[in-house]
């Protein structure tokens, strides 16, 4: 007994006295023991002090809980009401600088406004980290007695959350992450949320001052470290949460390239969760047939294999304090180089793999396995035949498919199976061209043409080739002024009337401008005059109310009616913004385009029928307007 006590004191002194990395990880695989190679104390189910009507038994292990995104069932621990977990903190893992990761799903909020998450006071103080009921079904996060932290309300009792509580002892700042997003921060300069060696930390167990503020949850992963966690560390834990909760990864390592080639240098990297340089741990490698070129400790190593085949590398990680260990083995296929001989016949001018002359070529290529492939190419190049032709034609004719002067090289099959090359020197005599530009009025003709267009006529020329006459004919239409269809004008606005481009204008009020600004309802008319006559048009203008507004409900059922929530009467809207929030304050939609509306989805997922809050601002009739309200999504 004395020897055992001495050994435990020695372990405790060694871990406290050194500055090595301490990590105690619990995965609740039907026990409360730390996962190797960690060597911390067991978790202890502990009932809350006070008369809290305790349930018989601390809780139990659920055997086939499915963790989100992991798609496999695994054991988790579920505490009963008013029971929690005691972390003895023997080695002082949790002092002023620490990180606590908890991967859990809340299942019962209990009957009190507060539910204790973490108690640093050994049950002697009501100060701690809680969920708090603020009148909504979901809960908020509170650093009692300081106040709420982060979005409120937020936490429900159906979702798995990775909660990270990390404190920087140098600054006193404490940060809370939910999954891998920073949820809130708190300046703990007074040290309320710290502990000391031998002073326990309780998870989901309340204090004796105000007892019974407890809830129930399922736990898949719990970790205590004496290091401050940055955003990148939290990202790493969250992104790998499936493998972290379901297996010990302290001995994982990678091989690159994988698979490898004979005599190729590969890099072996430790990929577990022990930080470099691995102080306090031994890394025992078994290389089997691999030759170690360089590397030591946790690596990286440079290795190679002189023989092909399926090769094995193993790593055993040992905690030097308590000799706890775990191991990992990786098998890698090592492939030999490949040899091949290829014979090819090509024609002059062709190439194969960049070669154009007869000969024997030896190349080193990369095989499908990624290894060297030695290929011997025996190449024979056959010559081509050539001929020449000179020819003259008129423009518009063709010879051998060509219609323009030039030198052309054509390739034809030859008797030897290779191409023959024909060179054609072609001269094309151009046509004599003339151009006429003429304008006529609608109903007249010129050279037999009565429509606007470009006409090409072919005539006989002195050089024996055709002469081309081009007529560019413009038929001036009788004026057809167009003021558009009858229109509605917003009260206080004006409308610019333009009948088109003409030589002269006469409006209903006697003015002669090319445009007229209508500011009042009524009938407006214009008479225009052009080279080929005069014509008139009129338009009726009435007024309407154009005040923009938002509906109080919409039905996104794709029936073409009221499917989107958006602004109505969008005339003359500037600097537009519309934002929609759900009842938890989460933004579900935002747009700066008045023509766009919300379709009742969030990131592509259909939202249930509910009341949503909206806010909009814009400029209308040179006035800045801000509006807000609620809209009912009807399913």
pLDDT digits (tens, 9 = 90+) for 290-322: 999 999 999 999 999 999 999 999 999 998 888
pLDDT digits (tens, 9 = 90+) for 104-163: 999 999 999 999 999 999 989 999 999 999 999 999 999 999 999 999 999 999 999 999
CA distance 306 to 207: 64
Lowest mean per-residue pLDDT among 83-92, 156-165, 391-400? 391-400
CA distance 193 to 200: 12
Question: Please, which residues bridge with residue 361 across strands?
Answer: 377
pLDDT at residue 369, rounded to an integer:
60
pLDDT at residue 326, rounded to an integer:
84
592, 496, 626, 492: which is closest to 546 by C-alpha?
A: 492
pLDDT at 417 over 60: yes
Q: Hey, what CATH class is 253-330 in? A: mainly beta
325, 242, 288: which is closest to 34 by C-alpha?
A: 325
pLDDT at 31 over 50: yes
CA distance 243 to 249: 8
pLDDT at 272 over 60: yes
CA distance 470 to 457: 7
Same fold, 21-246 and 553-633: no
Question: Please, which residues bridge with residue 338 across strands?
Answer: 373
Please give the C-alpha separations between residue 380 and each of 342, 355, 412, in angstroms, as whole numbers: 12, 10, 20
- The mean pLDDT of the chain is 88
pLDDT at residue 429, rounded to an integer:
84
CA distance 98 to 519: 73
pLDDT at residue 203, rounded to an integer:
97
| 553-633 placed in CATH 1.20.120 | no
The topology under which CATH files domain 21-246 is Jelly Rolls (2.60.120)
Does residue 229 contact residue 174 with C-beta atoms inside 8 Å?
no
The domain spans of the chain are 21-246, 253-330, 338-382, 385-429, 432-476, 487-544, 553-633
Peptide linkage before 277 cis (omega within 30 of 0): yes
CA distance 588 to 608: 12
Q: Percent of the chain having pLDDT more than 90? A: 57
**Strands, sheet with 419-429, edge to edge from the N-terminal-most edge strand:** 385-394, 419-429, 406-413
pLDDT at residue 233, rounded to an integer:
94
CA distance 104 to 89: 21
pLDDT at residue 19, rounded to an integer:
58
pLDDT at residue 296, rounded to an integer:
93
The pLDDT-based confidence of 556 (bands split at 50, 70, 90) is very high
């Amino acid at each position: 007994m004395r020897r055992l006590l001495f050994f435990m004191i020695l372990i405790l002194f060694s871990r406290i006295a050194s500055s090595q990395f301490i990590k105690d990880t619990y995965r609740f695989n039907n026990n409360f023991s730390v996962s190797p190679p960690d060597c911390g104390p067991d978790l202890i189910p502990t009932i809350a002090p006070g008369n809290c009507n305790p349930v018989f038994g601390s809780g139990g292990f659920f055997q086939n809980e499915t963790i989100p995104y992991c798609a496999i069932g695994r054991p988790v621990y579920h505490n009963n009401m008013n029971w929690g977990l005691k972390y003895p903190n023997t080695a002082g893992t949790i002092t002023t600088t620490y990180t606590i990761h908890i991967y859990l799903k809340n299942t019962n909020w209990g009957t009190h406004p507060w539910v204790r998450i973490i108690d640093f006071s050994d049950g002697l103080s009501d100060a701690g980290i809680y969920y708090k009921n603020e009148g909504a079904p979901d809960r908020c996060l509170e650093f009692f007695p300081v106040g709420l932290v982060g979005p409120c309300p937020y936490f429900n009792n159906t979702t798995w959350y990775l909660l990270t509580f990390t404190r920087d002892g140098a600054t006193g700042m404490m940060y809370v992450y939910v999954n891998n997003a920073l949820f809130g921060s708190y300046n703990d300069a007074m040290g309320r949320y710290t502990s000391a060696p031998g002073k326990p930390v309780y998870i989901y167990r309340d204090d004796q001052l105000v007892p019974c503020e407890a809830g129930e949850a399922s736990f898949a992963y719990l970790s205590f470290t004496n290091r401050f966690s940055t955003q990148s560390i939290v990202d790493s834990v969250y992104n790998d949460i499936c493998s972290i909760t379901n297996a010990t990864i302290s001995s994982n390592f990678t091989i690159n390239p994988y698979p490898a080639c004979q005599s190729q240098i590969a890099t072996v990297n430790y990929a577990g969760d022990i930080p470099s340089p691995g102080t306090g741990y031994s890394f025992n490698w078994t290389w089997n047939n691999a030759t170690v070129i360089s590397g030591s400790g946790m690596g990286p190593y440079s290795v190679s294999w002189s023989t092909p085949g399926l090769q094995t590398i193993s790593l055993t990680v040992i905690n030097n304090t308590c000799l706890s260990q775990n191991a990992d083995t990786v098998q890698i296929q090592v492939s030999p180089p490949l040899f091949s001989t290829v014979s090819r016949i090509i024609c002059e001018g062709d190439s194969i793999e960049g070669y154009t002359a007869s000969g024997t070529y030896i190349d080193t290529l990369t095989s499908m396995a990624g290894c060297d492939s030695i290929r011997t190419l025996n190449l024979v190049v056959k010559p081509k035949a050539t001929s020449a032709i000179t020819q003259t034609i008129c423009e518009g004719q063709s010879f051998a498919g060509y219609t323009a002067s030039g030198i052309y090289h054509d390739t034809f099959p030859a008797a030897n199976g290779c191409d023959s090359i024909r060179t054609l020197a072609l001269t094309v005599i151009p046509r004599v061209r003339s151009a006429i530009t003429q304008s006529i009025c609608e109903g007249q003709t010129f050279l037999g043409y009565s429509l606007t267009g470009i006409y090409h006529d072919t005539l006989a020329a002195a050089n024996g080739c055709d002469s081309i006459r081009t007529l560019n004919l413009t038929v001036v239409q009788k004026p057809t002024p167009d003021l558009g269809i009858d229109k509605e004008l917003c009260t206080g606005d004006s409308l610019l009337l333009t009948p088109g481009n003409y030589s002269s204008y006469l409006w209903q009020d006697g003015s002669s401008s090319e445009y007229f600004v209508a500011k009042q309802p009524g009938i407006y008319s214009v008479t225009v005059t052009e080279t080929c006559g005069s014509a008139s048009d009129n338009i009726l203008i009435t007024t309407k109310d154009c005040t923009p507004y938002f509906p109080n409900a919409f039905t996104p059922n794709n029936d073409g009616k009221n499917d989107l929530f958006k602004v109505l009467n969008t005339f003359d809207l500037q600097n537009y913004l519309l934002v929609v929030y759900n009842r938890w304050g989460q933004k579900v939609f935002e747009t700066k385009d008045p023509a766009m509306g919300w379709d009742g989805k969030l990131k592509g997922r259909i939202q249930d029928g509910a009341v949503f809050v909206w806010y909009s601002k814009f400029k209308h009739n040179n006035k800045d307007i801000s509006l807000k309200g609620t809209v009912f999504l009807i399913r």
